[in-house]
Amino acid sequence: MEIVRVAGWVFEKRDLGGIIFILLRDSTGIIQVTWSRKRGDKEIGRKMKKLKINDVIEVRGEVKKEEQAPNGVEIIPHTLRVLNEAEHPLPLDPTGKIDAGLETRLNLRPLDLINPKRNAIFRIKSEVLRLTREFLRDRGFLEVITPKIIATATEGGAELFPVPYFEVTAFLAQSPQLYKEELTIPFERVFEIGTYFRAEPFNTNRHLNEFVSIDIEAAFHTYEDVMKVAEELIVHVYKRLNEGMEEELKLLNLDLRIPQTPFPRVKYDEIMEKLRGIGVKIESGEDIKMEHLESLKDERTEGYYFIIDWPSKVKTFYTKDKEDREGYTNSFDLMYRELEIGSGGERIHKYNDLIKKMRKMGLSIDNFRHHLVFYKCGMPPHAGWGIGLDRLMMSILGFKNIRETVLYPRDRFRLVP
Ligand code: AMO
């Protein structure tokens, strides 16, 4: 006879009078606890009768084979202790049998995450993080952590959150851009997985005010080289999820098809031409909007693909211009259907070129002097990208709303919990 001790939460209770079944949940799964009047201790029976969903209990007992139980075994309790009681009814049904709207679910997130399907999303996300680290380290990238309280904008001034910082005003970082570029001097290849903040006031299904980005930067890489790193990373993640996360994927009814490489590279100009061809009024030099891409019928844009060679006007100051085409850059957006999940490119690495570009864009050279000094101290040619982790999860799991892939999303109207 094997005696075990398990502690966990009441997931379900079935009281048939002479026999009581409890499904006990812990982080590894669910096990049935069975008490019967015939053989069971009366006191345990009384306790079991009173149990409610999510009461925290500890059971000691013997394990028996039982074909009808969820995983083929059940525990016959010898002792049962109630470690904490839960209120009844709970504000959210953790089994998911009674449906609740997204707002309610997010307000009660830990209860929502008991639901096996929702739980699976974050197990997969954790695995995506592990696989990303594994892949990038194997490629010679060093993991770094850069400051999140900063003094200047990197991705355009309008989206910064100010924070009082003693005598001055500082800002929350929008990206690790300048640091990761500088760190190519000592390390050549770096990556960071960090949380960033953007004060974008609009409330959409793909924007949050706090999001996680996977960033890389690599010396002596072209934009084509770093696009390869991105597509190989995505293929690695898909392959390994299929091998290690079958159960979670099954819960979410997902059959992951490994994307084919190379991902299509579609030129910005070509997309513009196509859009004009279907009657979209859009000027060269404008950003391409999601709505535009939705109406584009092109088999190359049905999965992951890159939109390459963007005009300088819509890209940030550090992006390198094409040598053979004025006004255009060696840059890309990584797309999944109409959703942008990443962007990157080659960077300017020569001091004079960078100053010229910054002046042209009306940026203050003085604000960036701590950064600019390195362009005179051996800045190598380099390239990199940032991929939004939460958006990457949307593409893998097929969610239309970014909030489904973030534990506690922060948006225009959501600051708690
Ligand atoms: P970019 O501004 O395009 O590039 O951001 C990179 C990726 O980060 C994600 N992202 C967001 N996700 C959710 N909510 C937001 N508000 C949000 N903003 C951005 C997107 C986006 O594609 N420094 C460059 C990257 C580089 O060139 O290396 C940058 O920040 O998935």
pLDDT (tens, 9 = 90+) of the chain, 417 residues, equals: 889 999 999 999 999 999 999 999 999 999 999 999 999 999 999 999 999 999 999 999 999 999 999 989 999 999 999 999 999 999 999 888 888 999 999 999 999 999 999 999 999 999 999 999 999 999 999 999 999 999 987 776 568 999 999 999 999 999 999 999 999 999 999 999 999 999 998 889 999 999 999 999 999 999 999 999 999 999 999 999 999 999 999 999 999 999 999 999 999 999 999 999 999 888 888 899 998 898 888 899 999 999 999 999 999 999 999 999 999 999 999 999 999 999 999 999 999 999 999 999 999 999 999 999 999 999 999 999 999 999 999 999 999 999 999 999 999 999 999
The predicted structure's pLDDT at residue 1: 81
The predicted structure's pLDDT at residue 319: 97
CA angle 230, 338, 260 (to 5 degrees): 40
Q: How far is the C-alpha of 314 from the C-alpha of 272, rounded, in Å?
A: 14
CA angle 22, 28, 30 (to 5 degrees): 20
End-to-end Cα, the chain, rounded Å: 46
Shortest CA distance to 103 belongs to which of 399, 405, 404?
404
Q: Which residues of 395-408 are buried (b: 16+ CB within 10 A; e: fewer)?
A: bbbebeebbbbbee
Q: How far is the CA of 388 from the centre of ligand 1 (A)?
A: 6
For ligand 1, residues with CB inside 6 Å are 155, 175, 177, 198, 200, 207-208, 211, 213, 215, 340-344, 384-386, 388, 390-391
Residue nearest to atom 20 of ligand 1 (CA): 388
CA-180 nearest atom, ligand 1: 28
The predicted structure's pLDDT at residue 156: 66
Report the phi/psi class of residue 362: left, alpha or beta, with left for phi > 0 and alpha for psi in -120 to 50.
Answer: left
Q: How far is the C-alpha of 30 from the C-alpha of 374, rounded, in Å?
A: 56
CA-392 nearest atom, ligand 1: 31
CA-347 nearest atom, ligand 1: 27
Long-range contacts from 59-63, C-beta under 8 angstroms, 24+ separation: 59/5, 59/6, 59/7, 59/24, 59/33, 60/3, 60/4, 60/5, 61/3, 61/4, 61/33, 62/1, 62/2, 62/3, 62/4, 63/2, 63/3, 63/4
Question: What letter does residue 204 receive in the DSSP assignment?
Answer: -
Q: How far is the CA of 257 from the centre of ligand 1 (A)?
A: 25
CA-318 nearest atom, ligand 1: 27
Domains and CATH numbers, the chain: 3-84 (2.40.50.140), 116-405 (3.30.930.10)
Tokens of 94: 């953790």
The predicted structure's pLDDT at residue 295: 86
Residue nearest to atom 17 of ligand 1 (CA): 207
The predicted structure's pLDDT at residue 99: 86
CA-387 nearest atom, ligand 1: 7
Residue nearest to atom 30 of ligand 1 (CA): 175
Q: Which amino acid is at 301?
A: T
Residue nearest to atom 24 of ligand 1 (CA): 386
